[in-house]
Amino acid sequence: MKTFRIQYDAAKNTLNKSKHNGLSRADTEPVFYDESALVWQTHDHDEYRWCIIGKDAKGRTLVLAYTYRDPNFVRPISARLASRNERPEVSGGLNHERRIRPQHH
């Protein structure tokens, strides 16, 4: 299991809260600790991005996109509520490609 620190952009956090049903940094952090979270890498952009689907502290299923800024930091790009078809209990789940967990200092 790899550990890392979560690096947030304050302006992006404010924008995300207004765009995605009020989701904030506090809502998204528990997803990284969800033992049943599903993680995969995507090549849809000019940088490697990772996606994770997991539960927040309120039990909601969230989809987060993030990237590594260096080996020790990840930066969340976006966060939103998962659609019905994205929820693992509906879609049958995804393969676990990589387990990661943040480390806060």
Q: Give the start-to-end residue ranges of the domains of the chain.
A: 2-90
Considering the chain, what percentage of its residues have pLDDT values greater than 70? Answer: 72
Question: 């929820």: which residue's tokens?
Answer: 87
pLDDT of residue 96 exceeding 60, the answer is no
Pairing of strands 2-6, 49-55: unpaired
The reply to whether CATH 3.40.50.20 applies to domain 2-90 is no
pLDDT of residue 62 exceeding 90, the answer is yes
Question: What's the burial of 84, exposed, middle or buried (CB within 10 Å: 0-12/13-18/19+)?
Answer: exposed
Considering the chain, what percentage of its residues have pLDDT values greater than 90? Answer: 12
Q: What is the mean pLDDT of residues 38-59?
A: 86
